[in-house]
Amino acid sequence: MMTLRRSVLAERADWFYVARDRLSVVWSAASLLLAAGWVIARRPDVALVTQLWIVVFGVGLLGVSHGGLDHLVGERVFQRRLQRYWWIYFSLGYVGLAIAVMLTWWLSAPLMLLLFLAVSILHFGLRDDIHAHRRMNAFARFAAVCGLGGAPIIIPWMMFPQQVSLLFGWLAGTRAEAWQPTSSMTYALDSISRLALFPLFPLFPFFLFAGAVVLMVYFKSRRLSDTFSWCEFLATVTLFWTLPPLLAFAWYFCFLHSPLHLLTLAERLAPSHKWAALGWVTLRGLPLTIITLIAGAAAYMWLRHTSLNEAESITRVIFWGLAALTFPHMLLTWLWHRGDETAH
């Protein structure tokens, strides 16, 4: 019986790693093509409000769903200790922490924004492959988390300082100028990107991909997943270097970050494997996803009755809402992984 169980678990794990690697390859290739097409099209100007609505529909339909299964994760974490009353403690703790995050936005928005950015870097950097980071030494693990998690935030802040600073100003309730990056790197990158005498700049994504291949050869990586991770990282850099920050975020969050988490949930929680597992986690996550979307719509209508304009209202609904969900989501995920470590 134990041998059969190990065989089933091994099959599920093999499917998960194959699916994750395929997702990484497809997303990296599509991101490079998207970035190249954006440059060839001479970087079309998309209105900020339009970008925000794209993020709303993308995150609403594809992004929020990866947190819709937190109640199942909570059951795994708390049921053994709290028995049949686990859902009461889980609900109070999860909702209470989300409310605390929202109250902190109102009391000290600048501090909360900085904390949210730091937590987002950690969340994006760790992804759901915490076990993979254990194979690295402390320095390599720190560099991997900062690199993977920092790219979606630091690069657009450097390359599109006016747009990002405007969004940060809305979220923090301050003037946009307070969030303008002032490092010499910003000036250098901005100057290079605008030089008319730099004809090879549109080919940057292809040079970056070639650099990834060279790195793979240099490090002599024997694991395909390591190679895919490097290509994925460099594709992320290219994406956020090229596309407007909000569009790049929508593409990254909806088609890489969220699917990776859903794959992890399908591999570890679903009672079956492959496509049946993905369908199972998608359906089980619908109720909380719908509740979250209704709450977001109510928050938007309430903000529109204040002095905020449309763009500022949408920005706060998106990112204040994501912050309120990210903190309990990350804490729950950490407890889940910690419980697995203790069990082993």
pLDDT per position as a tens digit, 208-240: 555 555 554 445 444 555 666 777 888 898 899
Nearest by Cα to 283 from 128, 76, 87, 68: 68
- Residues 122-128 have a mean pLDDT of 78
What pTM was estimated for this model as a whole? 0.82
pLDDT per position as a tens digit, 33-44: 999 999 999 899
pLDDT at position 343 is: 52
Does residue 202 belong to any structural domain of this protein? Answer: no
Question: Residue 187 pLDDT more than 60?
Answer: no
Question: Residue 8 pLDDT more than 50?
Answer: no
Which residues have CB under 8 Å from 112's CB, separation 6+? 101, 104, 105, 172, 323
The percentage of residues in the chain with a pLDDT greater than 70, rounded to a whole number, is 74
Q: Which two tokens stand for residue 35?
A: 């970035």
Instruction: Please answer whether residues 123 and 149 qualify as being in contact, where contact means their C-beta atoms are separated by less than 8 angstroms.
Output: yes
- Residues 268-274 have a mean pLDDT of 70
Question: Residue 89 pLDDT more than 70?
Answer: yes
- Residues 165-175 have a mean pLDDT of 92
Instruction: Please answer whether residues 330 and 125 qualify as being in contact, where contact means their C-beta atoms are separated by less than 8 angstroms.
Output: no
pLDDT at position 266 is: 81
Does residue 203 belong to any structural domain of this protein? Answer: no
Does residue 18 belong to any structural domain of this protein? Answer: no
- Residues 286-296 have a mean pLDDT of 88
pLDDT at position 147 is: 76
Q: Which two tokens stand for residue 34?
A: 């998207």
Per the structure, the count of domains in the chain is 1
Q: What is the mean pLDDT of the chain?
A: 79
Does residue 239 belong to any structural domain of this protein? Answer: no
Model confidence band, residue 188 (pLDDT cutoffs 50, 70, 90): very low
Which residues have CB under 8 Å from 233's CB, separation 6+? 147, 148, 151
Which residues have CB under 8 Å from 323's CB, separation 6+? 101, 105, 112, 116, 119
Phi/psi class of residue 126: alpha, beta or left (left: φ > 0; alpha: ψ in -120 to 50)? alpha
Distances (CA, A) of 206 to 231, 256, 340: 12, 20, 41
More confident residue, 336 or 110: 110
Domain ranges, residue 168: 46-193+244-343
Amino acid letter at 43? R
Does residue 16 belong to any structural domain of this protein? Answer: no
Does residue 155 belong to any structural domain of this protein? Answer: yes
pLDDT at position 131 is: 46
- Sign, Cα dihedral of 164, 167, 172, 173: positive
Does residue 226 belong to any structural domain of this protein? Answer: no
Distance CA 33, CA 27 (A): 10
- Sign, Cα dihedral of 98, 96, 108, 302: positive
Nearest by Cα to 189 from 201, 171, 180: 201
Does residue 52 belong to any structural domain of this protein? Answer: yes
Instruction: Please answer whether residues 270 and 280 qualify as being in contact, where contact means their C-beta atoms are separated by less than 8 angstroms.
Output: yes
Distance CA 334, CA 208 (A): 33
Question: Residue 54 pLDDT more than 90?
Answer: yes
The percentage of residues in the chain with a pLDDT greater than 90, rounded to a whole number, is 32
- Residues 265-285 have a mean pLDDT of 76
pLDDT at position 10 is: 46
Question: Residue 5 pLDDT more than 80?
Answer: no
Q: With 0-12 CB in 10 A as exposed, 13-18 as middle and 19+ as buried, what is 277?
A: buried
pLDDT at position 163 is: 92
- Residues 174-201 have a mean pLDDT of 58
Rg (CA), the chain: 21
- Residues 105-114 have a mean pLDDT of 91
